[in-house]
């Protein structure tokens, strides 16, 4: 499906922005240069008649995004958390995309539930209310389980959403291919790999069985975290296109006035949002990757309550350590170490100059420190960072896309509570604690113990493996003579090392 027919979709996207008046507003919000504004108007004006009209009662950008469909709405949700990038007025307009989109009918929701569970809705729920929130992919109903009387939240996918979303993603794939073909300098950003990653995440979000599983795992990881809560899954009332969780009361994170009126400490709350996210990412390697205001509440006990687990991120232990070392290097202004970590992890080609890269990183990091957050332009900072990565040939790391994106979203949420919040200083305690726990002598001993436990499982096979290595050494071949001693040494060394690690594991574990 990723053929030239997608040109029409992309042209219609630009035409929709022009027809609704969103093009001018978007270019203004992103502070585009005059040449770009003129070019966009000249190219967009002749085609505006083919653009979607949207809802004339909505502001221009919101009108264009909602008319274009779910994939564009997802992007708008991200921008709604970044008033420092798009301006407070546009960010506030786009916040509607988080959970205040037009709902679909209760009858359609009931039909979906009955199809998924094979029972009438009234046999499962004694109460089933109209939707209380509607987002790009699904809407939520308040209900009561007939069997237990528990109040629950029932999430139901929009009818036909799977096909609509993948049609948009298909056009994104085509655009990425065109970019890689026509702009070779952009290939290092791996646009097709980025879209592939995005599509994989969304496909998981469109199967609510996977979301229910993610919610259960996230709840298990965080059940002992003070001041943070994840609602429990009602598995018997969940399926592929609908999911049931316990109902959670509280004040939406986006309602800053209500939070202030409730007596909440907004400064401390902004810090908790950042530190909670970093704790989950670094400690567990499993984090909520869609932490905008619409997916967060403050419960009656003051706990942060997470909702909507369709987009979750994972990072392995090695990547977590690399990421933490980069963060702590920036926090300590040790740009040489930050550069070294980038080279060690293979993020920067080895033919580049580490000293020059460290100097470039200093030019990115230094403007942050000692500055009031309101004086830092995140848009200009990201632009500068992009220039640095381009200059040094860094490729986009698809495994870090969700982590980077979520950091941007979480910082936007925190700044909506406290515009003076400095993310770097707020991150320091969590990152420092992680470094102490995972990069010191205790961490080395723990890694050796884990290796020993793995080797202990194959311990009974070590003599057999050593014998096979010796047989291979003693079997002549044209090239074996030169490798005889290293092979023999490797076989014996493996046995000795394995025995030593097994003993160490027994002592430590």
pLDDT per residue as tens digits for the range 99-132: 677 899 999 999 999 999 999 999 999 999 999 9
Question: What pLDDT, on a 0 to 100 scale, did the predictor assign at position 227?
Answer: 94
Mean pLDDT (whole number) for 206-228: 95
Nearest to 277 by CA among 315, 322, 325: 315
Pairing of strands 151-157, 242-246: antiparallel
Asked if residues 46 and 101 have their Cβ atoms less than 8 Å apart, the reply is no
Q: How confident is the model at residue 492 (pLDDT cuts 50, 70, 90)?
A: very low
Contacts of 440 (CB under 8 A, 6+ apart): none
Residue 242 in contact with residue 154, Cβ under 8 Å? Answer: yes
Say which residues have a Cβ less than 8 Å from residue 221's Cβ, sequence separation at least 6. 280, 284, 286
Q: Look up residue 458 and give its DSSP letter.
A: T
Q: Flag the least confident range among 261-265, 296-300, 380-384.
A: 380-384
Q: How long is the chain?
A: 509
Task: State mean pLDDT over 386-392.
Answer: 69
52 versus 454: which is more confidently predicted?
52
What are the residue boundaries of the structural domains of the chain, listed by start? 6-99, 162-203, 250-439, 441-508
Structure tokens at 500: 């030593």
d(CA 47, CA 49): 5
Distance CA 244, CA 225 (A): 23
Residue percentage of the chain with pLDDT more than 90: 30
Residue 252 host element (H or E)? strand 251-252
Q: Which two tokens stand for residue 369?
A: 């420190």
pLDDT on residue 385: 62
Known active-site residue 351? no
Does residue 75 register a pLDDT over 80? Answer: no
Beta strands in 121-250 (DSSP E): 125-134, 138-145, 151-157, 228-229, 242-246
- Averaged pLDDT for residues 309-330: 84
What's the token pair of residue 159?
């009818």
- What tokens were used for 273? 């949002």
Q: How confident is the model at residue 216 (pLDDT cuts 50, 70, 90)?
A: very high
Average pLDDT, the chain: 79
Confidence of residue 481 (pLDDT cuts 50, 70, 90): very low
Predicted TM-score of the model (pTM): 0.71
CA atoms of 93 and 148, how far apart (whole Å): 40
pLDDT in tens, 170-206: 877 777 777 677 666 556 556 777 677 667 777 778 8
Confidence of residue 43 (pLDDT cuts 50, 70, 90): low
Q: At 193, which helix (H) or strand (E)?
A: helix 191-205
Rounded to whole angstroms, the Cα distance separating 288 from 178 reads 32
Pairing between β-strand 228-229 and β-strand 304-306 as defined by DSSP bridges: parallel
* Mean pLDDT (whole number) for 283-296: 90
User: Among all chains, which residue has been given the structure tokens 């848009």?
Assistant: 379
Which of 84, 168, 170, 290 is catalytic? The answer is 290
Q: Are strands 138-145 and 151-157 parallel, antiparallel or unpaired?
A: antiparallel
Check: CB of residue 141 under 8 Å from CB of residue 128: yes
Composition of the chain by helix, strand, coil, percent to 5: 65, 10, 25
CA nearest 328: which of 402, 412, 437?
A: 437
């Amino acid at each position: 499906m990723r053929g030239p027919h997608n040109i029409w979709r992309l042209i219609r996207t630009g035409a929709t922005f022009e027809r609704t008046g969103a093009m001018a507003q978007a270019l203004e919000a992103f502070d585009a240069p005059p040449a770009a504004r003129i070019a966009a108007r000249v190219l967009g004006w002749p085609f505006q008649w083919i653009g979607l009209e949207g809802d004339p009662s909505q502001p221009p950008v919101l009108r264009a995004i909602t008319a274009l469909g779910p994939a564009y709405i997802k992007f708008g949700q991200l921008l709604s958390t970044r008033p420092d990038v798009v301006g407070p007025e546009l960010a506030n307009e786009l916040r509607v995309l988080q959970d205040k989109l037009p709902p679909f009918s209760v009858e359609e929701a009931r039909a979906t539930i009955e199809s998924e569970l094979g029972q009438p809705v009234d046999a499962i729920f004694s109460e089933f209310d109209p939707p209380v929130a509607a987002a790009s992919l699904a809407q939520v109903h308040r209900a009561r389980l007939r069997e237990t009387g528990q109040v629950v939240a029932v999430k139901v996918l929009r009818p036909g959403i799977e096909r609509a979303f993948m049609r948009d993603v298909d056009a994104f794939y085509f655009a990425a291919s065109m970019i890689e073909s026509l702009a070779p300098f952009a290939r290092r950003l791996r646009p097709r790999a980025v879209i592939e990653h995005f599509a994989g995440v969304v496909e998981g979000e469109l199967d609510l069985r996977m979301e229910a599983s993610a919610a259960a795992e996230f709840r298990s990881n965080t059940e002992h975290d003070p001041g943070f809560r994840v609602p429990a899954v009602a598995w018997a009332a969940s399926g592929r296109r609908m999911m049931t969780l316990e109902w959670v009361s509280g004040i939406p994170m986006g309602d800053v006035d209500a939070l202030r009126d409730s007596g909440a400490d907004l400064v401390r709350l902004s810090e908790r949002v950042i530190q909670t996210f970093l704790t989950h990412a670094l400690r567990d390697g499993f984090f909520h990757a869609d932490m905008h205001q619409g997916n967060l509440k403050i419960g009656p006990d003051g706990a942060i309550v997470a909702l909507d687990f369709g987009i979750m991120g994972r990072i392995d232990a090695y990547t977590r350590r690399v990421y933490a070392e980069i963060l702590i290097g920036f926090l300590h202004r040790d740009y040489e170490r930050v550069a070294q970590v980038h080279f060690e992890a293979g993020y920067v080609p080895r033919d580049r100059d580490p000293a020059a890269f460290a100097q470039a990183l200093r030019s990115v990091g230094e403007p942050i420190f000692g500055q009031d957050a309101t004086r830092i332009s995140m848009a200009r900072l990201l632009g500068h960072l992009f220039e640095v990565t381009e200059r040094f040939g860094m490729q986009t790391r698809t495994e870090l896309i969700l982590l980077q994106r979520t950091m941007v979203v979480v910082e936007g949420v925190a700044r909506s509570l406290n515009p003076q919040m400095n993310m770097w200083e707020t991150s320091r305690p969590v990152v420092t604690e992680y470094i102490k726990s995972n990069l010191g002598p205790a961490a080395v001993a723990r890694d050796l113990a884990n290796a020993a436990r793995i080797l202990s499982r194959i311990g009974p096979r070590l003599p057999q493996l050593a014998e096979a290595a010796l047989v291979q050494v003693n079997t002549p071949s044209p090239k074996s003579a030169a490798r005889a001693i290293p092979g023999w040494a490797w076989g014996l060394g493996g046995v000795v090392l394995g025995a030593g690690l097994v003993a160490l594991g027994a002592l430590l574990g």
